[in-house]
Structure 1
Amino acid sequence: MKIQTYYNHIRFYTPHHFVYYPVLTLFLAFSVYFAFTTNECLIWSFISAVFVFLLFLAYMLRQHYALTLQNRIVRLETRYRYFTLTGKRLEEFEHKLTDDQIFALRFAPDEEFLPLRCFKKQPQR
Structure 2
Amino acid sequence: MSEQNLKNHVRFVPLYHFFVLPMLIIHFGWSIYRWIAAGFSIGDLEWILTSAALFFGVLYARIFALSVQDRVIRLEERLRYEQVLPEELGWRADELTVDQFVSLRFASDEELEKLMQKVLNDKLTERKAIKQLIKNWRPDYLRA
TM-score under structure 2 normalisation? 0.51
Structure 2 CA distance for aligned equivalents of residues 109 and 10 of structure 1: 24
Matched, 1:30 2:23: no
Match of 1:82 in 2: 82
What is the CA distance between 1:67 and its match in structure 2?
A: 1.6
Q: Which runs of 4+ in 1 moved over 3 A?
A: 7-10, 83-86, 100-104, 106-110
- For these two proteins, the number of residue pairs brought into alignment is 98
Structure 1 residues 102 and 82: CA distance shift in structure 2, 3 A: farther
Gaps of 5+ in 2: 87-92, 105-111, 115-144
Match of 2:94 in 1: 101
Range moving further from structure 2, 48-57 or 76-85: 76-85
Match of 1:62 in 2: 62
TM-score under structure 1 normalisation? 0.58
Structure 2 CA distance for aligned equivalents of residues 75 and 9 of structure 1: 20
Structure 1 residues 10 and 3: CA distance shift in structure 2, 3 A: closer
Gaps of 5+ in 1: 87-99, 111-125
Q: What RMSD, in angstroms, separates the aligned Cα atoms of the two structures?
A: 3.5
Overall identity of the aligned pairs, in %: 17
Deviation digits for residues 30-72 of structure 1 (CA, Å, limit 9, x no counterpart) = 2111111226711111111111122122222212211211110
Larger Rg: 1
